[in-house]
Amino acid sequence: MSIENLSCNKSFGGWHKQYSHYSNTLNCAMRFAIYLPPQALSGAKVPALYWLSGLTCSDENFMQKAGAQRIAAELGMAIIAPDTSPRGDEVADNDGYDLGKGAGFYVNATQAPWNRHYQMYDYVLNELPALVESMFPVSDQRSIAGHSMGGHGALVLALRNPQRYRSVSAFSPISNPVNCPWGKKALSAYLGIDSAGWADYDASLLMRQASQCVPARVDQGEADDFLSAQLKPDTLEAAATFSGYPLELNRHEGYDHSYYFIASFIEQHLRFHARHLGQY
C-alpha cells in the first residue's frame, strides 16, 4: 500500500504523524493520524488504541485537544485516529452536520448514494489496521475508543468483534441510536427506512444480547446538553445489567460534551486500555 506523509511532529519523545492513502474500501483518499511512542522508535512493536471521533470532527481533533500523547508515551501505546467519514468532491454529502461528510457513523451503508463510499465499519475494522500493522511498528494487540458518534462506533465494533479488541471505552457515546434523532436520521439514510436492519449498529441492543465480552468503560458528563435526547446512557446501563456485561459507567457532575471533558479523563482511559493490553 502507498501512503503519503502529510505532517510530522515530535511529542513526548515519540512522533505524531499524519498520512494520506487511497482506501479501496471507501473508494477515495483518506487521512489518518498516528502517534508512535518512544518505545516504537527502536522498531519494537507496540500495542495500539484506535480512536474514533464524533460528528463534524476529523483525525485532528483528538490528537490536538485531548492531551493523550504524554500518557501514551509513558505506557508505550500507539494511538491511531482515522477521519470520521469519506472525503472528496465525488463523495455524497448532506447540508446537515449530522449526515454525510464528517458524519459517517461507522456503518457500512447499503443505500444509494451513500453505499459507494460510506463503508466506515469495514474501513476501521479491517483496512486501516492492516495498513497500520504493515507499515509501522504496531502489533495486532488492539483496543478501541471514541467520543459521541465515535463512542457509538467503538462500542459497536468491539461488541460485534470481541476477538479483535482487548478493551473498549467511550466518552459520551450515542448509546441507543435506533431511538434518538441523530441515529434515526443517519441510519435511515445509510441503511434504509426499515429499522429492523439498524440493530447491528446499536450498542445497547448489542450489549443486551452479548454472549462474549470485551471489558468496557464509559464516561458521561451530567451537564451534557445531549444527554437525554441523543446519548441515552441509561439504556446502555440497563442492557449491561440485563446481560451481565462488564461495563464500567462513570457519571461526572458538571462536565459537558466537549474536549475539556475528554482531556480531564483521557489518562484514566489510556491506563484502562493499557491494563488490558498487558502494558502493566
> Distance (Å, rounded) from C-alpha 227 to C-alpha 215?
23
pLDDT band at 231 (very low <50, low <70, confident <90, very high): very high
In this predicted structure, the answer to whether residue 1 has a pLDDT above a threshold of 70 is no
State yes or no: is 257 an active-site residue. Answer: yes
The dihedral over CA atoms of 163, 275, 132, 100, expressed in degrees to the nearest 10, equals: 70
Q: Annotated catalytic residue: which of 85, 202, 224, 276?
A: 224
Could you report the per-residue pLDDT of 104-141, keeping only the tens digit for each? Answer: 999 999 999 999 999 999 999 999 999 999 999 999 99
Hey, which residues does 247 pair with through a beta bridge?
216
Q: Which CATH architecture has domain 3-277?
A: 3-Layer(aba) Sandwich (3.40)
Q: Which of 280, 261, 276, 265 is nearest to 48 (CA)?
A: 276
Q: Annotated catalytic residue: which of 148, 167, 175, 204?
A: 148
Query: What percent of the chain shows pLDDT beyond 90?
Result: 97
The pLDDT mean for the chain works out to 97
State yes or no: is 224 an active-site residue. Answer: yes
pLDDT band at 199 (very low <50, low <70, confident <90, very high): very high
Q: Annotated catalytic residue: which of 16, 117, 152, 257?
A: 257
Where residue 19 falls (left for φ over 0; alpha for ψ -120 to 50; beta otherwise) is beta
| pLDDT average, residue stretch 56-72 | 98
